[in-house]
Amino acid sequence: MAAAEVARQGEGCRTVPLSGHVGFDSLPDQLVNKSVNHGFCFNILCVGETGLGKSTLMDTLFNTKFEGDPASHSQPGVQLKSSTYDLQESNVNLKLTIVSTVGFGDQINKEDSYKPIVEFIDAQFEAYLQEELKIRRVLHNYHDTRIHACLYFIAPTGHSLKSLDLVTMKKLDSKVNIIPIIAKSDAISKSELTKFKIKITSELVSNGVQIYQFPTDDESVAEINGTMNAHLPFAVIGSTEELKIGNKMMKARQYPWGTVQVENEAHCDFVKLREMLIRVNMEDLREQTHTRHYELYRRCKLEEMGFKDTDPDSKPFSLQETYEAKRNEFLGELQKKEEAMRQMFVQRVKEKEAELKEAEKELHEKFDRLKKLHQDEKKKLEDKKKSLDDEVNAFKQRKTAAELLQSQAQQAGGSQTLKRDKERKN
């Protein structure tokens, strides 16, 4: 009811003239000053195969040398490496984050090469969403790591897009602002480059890949953006080496057949890329990331959690009611899981008790068998001992009888000898 009342009040808003200067015309200046004091952040994702000059182009774009350790390309999969730098130009501070895809396209099986990139982008959205959903939020000091622009580096083959490029861009186009660029464009001729651009654009359209279009709704940039949209994809060359050309030192690449000037629009589209990416549309890229890509992720996530703008009866959405419903649903599911776990625990205990009883029974049976066996062995030993004792006693009796007989025989022999002796004497 309150929302409907506010809407009705808004419809009846009137325009009234001012009789003098008030001062709210300084709001744009206040906003600019506040933004300058707070600083800006910009996050670039560089996607492309190894050796296409991604790091060199970043150094060239921002007119500096981003220090970093050389990436190892012996990884089994794609690794995303994020580096953040603080840059200052005049009185404007920029926190720049460059994310590179180490090992992209190096694998024999490239089927899942896009997955780590998609997961990384979603992880940045999720981190921002979690911060947004906190009761005590600090979004004004939060380091926003959401990717604002994806520079997709295309190898200068001069033929057509690789299937890896088409699949990856198709998976990314709903999550990030894709700006396709032809890397190392001095590797092919002007005529080949023109045909290659047309071929790339045709393949992107036929495969339904949505690349970032420079906005034309703002009159101040509509003309230049409309012109630059026709030049996509940009054919670029990067170089941090400065050579003296005429009376000026310019960034260029020296070849045996001549010199390619990075900032010469007749040689490549580097100036166009820098103009569109940094000097004209950087804020639009940040805005598109928040209002389009992040909002899509946020909406899908909240719908997964059960939040909707309207209920089944098309009544206004109530956060409290949805929260209570989800809470009750969660508690119900939790109770079901607890009951299932309790039943499973009871069943496991019963099964264990049955196993223990069976084991106890087997032990008792084994004990009884061993006890009976012991008794039988004991009885056999006792019977054998008795038999041996009887044999010993019989042997002793026979020995005694033999000794008695022997003694008697000796006595009889002795008496006969004495008798014979007496007879001889007589």
User: Residue 355 above 50 pLDDT?
Assistant: yes
d(C-alpha 391, C-alpha 414), whole Å: 34
Q: What is the pLDDT of residues 141-193, one digit of tens each?
A: 889 999 999 999 999 998 889 999 999 999 999 999 999 999 999 999 999 99
Q: Both tokens of residue 125?
A: 């959205």
d(C-alpha 201, C-alpha 169), whole Å: 13
Longest Cα separation, the chain: 195
The bridge status of strand 242-245 relative to strand 248-255 is antiparallel
In eight-state DSSP terms, residue 144 is -
The single-letter code of the amino acid at 34 is: K
Whole-number Cα distances in Å, 374 to 360, 362, 363, 367, 368: 21, 18, 16, 10, 10
The average pLDDT across 305-331 equals: 71
In eight-state DSSP terms, residue 335 is H
Helix (H) or strand (E) holding 180: strand 178-182
Q: Tokens 């396709």 — which residue?
A: 180
- Residue 251 sits at φ, ψ, to 5 deg, of -70, 125
pLDDT of residue 73: 62
| Of 229, 230, 254, nearest in space to 240 by CA | 254
d(C-alpha 115, C-alpha 119), whole Å: 6
R_g of the chain computed on alpha carbons: 48
The single-letter code of the amino acid at 134 is: K
Whole-number Cα distances in Å, 337 to 106, 180, 334: 45, 49, 5
d(C-alpha 163, C-alpha 160), whole Å: 9
The bridge status of strand 178-182 relative to strand 149-154 is parallel
| Of 82, 124, 115, 100, nearest in space to 294 by CA | 124
- Higher model confidence: residue 211 or residue 72? 211
User: Residue 285 above 70 pLDDT?
Assistant: yes
Q: Is the pTM of this model over 0.85?
A: no
d(C-alpha 275, C-alpha 292), whole Å: 23
Helix (H) or strand (E) holding 45: strand 40-47
Confidence of residue 2 (pLDDT cuts 50, 70, 90): very low
Q: What is the pLDDT of residues 375-418, one digit of tens each?
A: 999 999 999 999 999 999 999 999 998 888 888 888 887 777 77
Q: Mean pLDDT across the chain, nearest whole number?
A: 89
